[in-house]
Structure 1
Amino acid sequence: MNCEEVMSLLKRRFPNEPEYLQAVEEVVESIEEVYNQHPEFEKANLLERLIIPDKIHTFRVTWVDDNGNVQTNMGYRVQHNNAIGPYKGGIRFHASVSLSILKFLAFEQTFKNALTTLPMGGAKGGSDFSPRGKSESEVMRFCQAFTEGLWRVIGPDTDVPAGDIGVGGREVGYMFGKYKKLVGEFTGTFTGKGREFGGSLIRPEATGYGNVYFLLEMLKTRNIDIRGKRCLVSGSGNVAQYTCEKLIEMGAIPVTLSDSDGYIYDPDGITREKLSFVMELKNLYRGRIREYAEEFGCKYVAGARPWGEKGDIALPSATQNEIDGDDARALVENGVFAVSEGANMPSTPEAIEIFQQHKILYAPGKAANAGGVSVSGLEMTQNSERYSWSAEQVDAKLKWIMGNIHDNCVKYGTEPDGYINYVKGANIAGFMKVAKAMMSQGIL
């Protein structure tokens, strides 16, 4: 297998899908050497079969707004690979959603889920509908209409969706309710559900908590204490909020948050009390992060991202490609020595190259943000057992899973000079598990 030849062919077949091509290229570059050590993979054309999704479902979503106007959006579900378990991955509602983005997310999800050690395949879905600015009734009607287009291709042993950007507990609840009515039975087909009807403790916190647990494992490799370290966090939604909560608990000092309008920089640090304000602002009132600056009198920069501020650790927790080459250089120059990704693919290839050239600790999202899908997998287990674990039990399992993911990254990613290439380690570890499962099951 030659990486350049593979990517050249893929670019001819899918020329208008840059996010998907970017995600595939990163993995193919990482696994090229180990793949070529297994001629049986090439004989079975395994790489091409793994790159291209098993199934892509596209459907129209028609719903009625509060003014009685009929609206139409697109709905998608990309079922990428189920070699190690049922398809599993979030649903994203955002105006930017496209097939390219969902294919990249489903591809990444396949390897992320493999890293968790839980039996889950990879998928992703969503719509170009944005809940922002919509009434409660409009969101409900859209979710119900979306589920009407989705329900036939999901199920507890087929495909188990969860939340993602624009899809929280509210949206999952509406989709689950409609699914339950259409199918006529109560099954654990969605995760991220409310605690009242099968949701798991620690699920809302899991991605943020897991990211910090992975960061702590990285810091241990260099005997660095997280206490007192100033942390640049992007985003202000679920992942960013619980990343900050765990950082504060560990003695670190988060100093930034952001949204699509701009970012805040609080040199005094985001405290528990200030974080409570953010959670109420974003979760209850769906406000904007500039209101934090107005409330606490700190710096707010409109139309920008927080990567030019001084800090020790960066935790990008917003969206894909939010750190480019210039941002990466600014982070390095300002003293950042660790980057742990809470979002999916938030760093561009140029940014990743800069991080690795400077030998900083860099954890890709498929490893560092696997906590969310890990606890989703644990929720599936609890649903199947008709049982609920305590918060302490779930948190202990989450810590173990993140530690195990880190160990596998070290196993496959340690280079001759001792530097741990977490990108390479995560990609090879995830790839080998999926590849061996596919080989065992024959040509399908």
Structure 2
Amino acid sequence: MSNLPSEPEFEQAYKELAYTLENSSLFQKFPQYRTALKVASIPERVIQFRVVWEDDAGNLQVNRGYRVQFNSALGPYKGGLRLHPSVNLSILKFLGFEQIFKNALTGLMMGGGKGGADFDPKGKSDAEIRRFCEAFMRELSRHIGADTDVPAGDIGVGGREIGYLFGAYRRERNKFEGVLTGKGLAWGGSLIRPEATGYGLVYYVTHMLEHAGAGGWQGKRVAISGSGNVAQYAALKCIELGATVVSLSDSKGSLVAVDGGRVTVEDVEAIMALKAKRQALADYAPPQGSSSLKYVAGVRPWLHVGAVDVALPCATQNEVSGEEALALVAGGCRFVAEGSNMGCTLEAIEVFERERREKKAGGGATWYAPGKAANCGGVAVSGLEMAQNSQRLAWTREEVDQKLKDIMKNAFYLGLDTAREYVPAAEGELPSLVAGSNIAGFVKVARAMEDQGDWW
């Protein structure tokens, strides 16, 4: 494919999936699935457009907008919108590709897609963000709909942006429908949606802990990266279940517990308020001048947290390198699960997988869970929001939370059982969750595509 421009993020996501499929018995049992992989790796549709908007000074600004509609074999395209200056087609294709198989693992009727723009909401006024969202949706609205493509939030797109985007869609298309998820509770949103990715991540790791004979969360030391939605609610759920959270981070540095300290509920709530105002973690001052947390500028937390039991990357892609993976293993980390999409580099994944293969469950093996399985709780509750919108109903917090727990349990055991079926393992070796999740998601999508004539 030398005639195509390099797309490093997408190529990494493709190679990670293809590698696990090749190193299983799937293609030996079903060689025709090589054709399915070839077809599924090309998006059904890529939409690229310009977004022209006016800043507060009256100056014209222009950005690039995208929507990658990757696969609709299992349902309407489903995946977030990301507003960040780093956004390009490679990143959105990687995210959309991962989303296909993540959505398949939820068991809900959702295809895979992703979109966004290279617009930076940081430093922008509410009015500028509203004008950008309206200009963005004027074009995007032609290509989405409740039964076609249902975007959600992602980096840079929270409740405020979803509101502006939904209002623009309603006015542009003259329809009030469940075209976006993450909506306000008064106009079609779902309870537990803000918490879903973080909570779901912790529910997933609960099954990892239990299956590996490591007990529950009580007393576990947990390193978390990020300080946005996923990290916040993962930290709160870990603390609720008795774990000790020792780090949070953002793009400028990390907040790390020192001298036996920990991140408290009060710390997380204060950081939530800080991030709602789009301030940096460096601006956080612990209450009463507490010295149990130290801010370290310009670093990720992994080399600074010391001995931990669990690592939860919850910031962005490729945030755990091979070197950092080795440091986590050396510090006794036994469980790594991605709250972010493709949070670990291929080198880091190989470190964790080597540890899993070489050590038995009772011998300190490190067990790694990929984002497409471990963080599928967010899109799962988006799917539940779609279901509630279709019925014009709202479920209780307890109903949604129980459905989320069931979905995460099913995603865990689907990956576990599929790994046992297709990936040879030594006696006492923990199954490969990355291989099992990749194969399970891929097979479900490939079979639907075959049934519908997308490949033959």
TM-score relative to the length of structure 2: 0.93
One-letter code of the match for 1:416?
A
Q: Is 1:398 paired with 2:404?
A: yes
Q: Is 1:56 paired with 2:54?
A: no
Q: 1:124 aligns with which of 114, 127, 133?
A: 114
Corresponding residue of 2:163: 173
Q: Is 1:272 paired with 2:265?
A: yes
Q: Is 1:46 paired with 2:39?
A: no
Corresponding residue of 2:205: 215
Q: Is 1:416 paired with 2:409?
A: no
Q: 2:354 aligns with which of 354, 357, 361?
A: 357
Structure 1 window deviating more from structure 2 (318-327 vs 269-278): it is 269-278
Q: Is 1:346 paired with 2:343?
A: yes
Secondary structure in 2 matching 1:366: helix
One-letter code of the match for 1:262?
G
The correspondence of residues 326-345 of structure 1 with structure 2, limited to 5 A, is: 326-345=323-342
Q: Is 1:319 paired with 2:330?
A: no
How far residue 39 of structure 1 moved from its aligned partner, in angstroms, is 3.7
Q: Is 1:228 paired with 2:219?
A: yes
Corresponding residue of 1:5: none
One-letter code of the match for 1:299?
K
How far residue 47 of structure 1 moved from its aligned partner, in angstroms, is 1.8
Mapped to 1, the partners of 2:446 and 2:339 lie a distance apart of 26
The structure-2 alpha-carbon separation of the partners of 1:315 and 1:13, relative to structure 1 and needing over 3 Å to count, comes to: farther
Q: CA RMSD in A?
A: 1.2
Secondary structure in 1 matching 2:29: coil
Mapped to 2, the partners of 1:233 and 1:381 lie a distance apart of 32
Mapped to 2, the partners of 1:423 and 1:13 lie a distance apart of 31
Mapped to 2, the partners of 1:119 and 1:13 lie a distance apart of 35
The structure-2 alpha-carbon separation of the partners of 1:314 and 1:443, relative to structure 1 and needing over 3 Å to count, comes to: closer
Mapped to 1, the partners of 2:315 and 2:381 lie a distance apart of 20
Q: 2:12 aligns with which of 22, 25, 29?
A: 22
Mapped to 2, the partners of 1:240 and 1:14 lie a distance apart of 36
Q: 1:299 aligns with which of 281, 294, 318?
A: 294
One-letter code of the match for 1:303?
G
One-letter code of the match for 1:252?
A
* Structure 2: 5+ residue stretches without partners: 357-365
Q: Is 1:103 paired with 2:100?
A: no
Q: Is 1:185 paired with 2:175?
A: yes
How far residue 345 of structure 1 moved from its aligned partner, in angstroms, is 0.3
Please list the CA deviations of residues 29-81 of structure 1 after superposition, one character each: whole Å capped at 9, or x if unmatched.
Answer: 11223134224445xx3221101000000000010001111000000000000
Structure 1 window deviating more from structure 2 (200-209 vs 330-339): it is 330-339
Q: Is 1:388 paired with 2:394?
A: yes
**Any conservation in 2 of the 1:307–1:327 contact (CA below 8 Å)?**
yes
**Any conservation in 2 of the 1:293–1:299 contact (CA below 8 Å)?**
no
The structure-2 alpha-carbon separation of the partners of 1:264 and 1:253, relative to structure 1 and needing over 3 Å to count, comes to: same
One-letter code of the match for 1:228?
G
**Any conservation in 2 of the 1:293–1:300 contact (CA below 8 Å)?**
no
Q: 2:381 aligns with which of 368, 375, 387?
A: 375
Corresponding residue of 1:258: 249
Mapped to 2, the partners of 1:251 and 1:14 lie a distance apart of 50
Please list the CA deviations of residues 223-276 of structure 1 after superposition, one character each: whole Å capped at 9, or x if unmatched.
Answer: 212111111110000000000010011101111111111001123211111211
Mapped to 1, the partners of 2:239 and 2:191 lie a distance apart of 20
**Any conservation in 1 of the 2:85–2:119 contact (CA below 8 Å)?**
yes
Q: 1:238 aligns with which of 221, 229, 243?
A: 229
How far residue 443 of structure 1 moved from its aligned partner, in angstroms, is 3.6
Mapped to 2, the partners of 1:356 and 1:293 lie a distance apart of 38
One-letter code of the match for 1:349?
L
How far residue 15 of structure 1 moved from its aligned partner, in angstroms, is 4.2
Q: 1:290 aligns with which of 282, 299, 302?
A: 282
**Any conservation in 2 of the 1:231–1:314 contact (CA below 8 Å)?**
yes
**Any conservation in 2 of the 1:264–1:292 contact (CA below 8 Å)?**
no
Mapped to 2, the partners of 1:279 and 1:150 lie a distance apart of 30
**Any conservation in 1 of the 2:85–2:120 contact (CA below 8 Å)?**
yes
One-letter code of the match for 2:396?
S
One-letter code of the match for 2:127?
S
Paired residues in the alignment total 431
Mapped to 2, the partners of 1:363 and 1:46 lie a distance apart of 24
Please list the CA deviations of residues 401-424 of structure 1 after superposition, one character each: whole Å capped at 9, or x if unmatched.
Answer: 000000011111234223221110
**Any conservation in 2 of the 1:264–1:293 contact (CA below 8 Å)?**
no
**Any conservation in 2 of the 1:111–1:434 contact (CA below 8 Å)?**
yes
Q: Is 1:427 paired with 2:438?
A: yes
Query: Which consecutive segments of 4 or more residues in structure 1 shift more than 6 A?
Result: none
Mapped to 1, the partners of 2:53 and 2:411 lie a distance apart of 42
How far residue 291 of structure 1 moved from its aligned partner, in angstroms, is 2.4
Structure 1 window deviating more from structure 2 (259-268 vs 236-245): it is 259-268
TM-score relative to the length of structure 1: 0.95
Mapped to 2, the partners of 1:14 and 1:227 lie a distance apart of 50
The structure-2 alpha-carbon separation of the partners of 1:429 and 1:269, relative to structure 1 and needing over 3 Å to count, comes to: same
Structure 1 window deviating more from structure 2 (267-276 vs 208-217): it is 267-276
Percent of pairs identical after alignment? Answer: 54
Please list the CA deviations of residues 372-412 of structure 1 after superposition, one character each: whole Å capped at 9, or x if unmatched.
Answer: 00000000000000000000000000000000000011111
Q: 2:152 aligns with which of 162, 169, 172?
A: 162
Corresponding residue of 1:249: 240
**Any conservation in 1 of the 2:182–2:190 contact (CA below 8 Å)?**
yes
Corresponding residue of 1:202: 192
Mapped to 2, the partners of 1:168 and 1:403 lie a distance apart of 27
The structure-2 alpha-carbon separation of the partners of 1:388 and 1:75, relative to structure 1 and needing over 3 Å to count, comes to: same
Structure 1 window deviating more from structure 2 (92-101 vs 296-305): it is 296-305
Secondary structure in 1 matching 2:249: strand
Mapped to 2, the partners of 1:426 and 1:47 lie a distance apart of 15
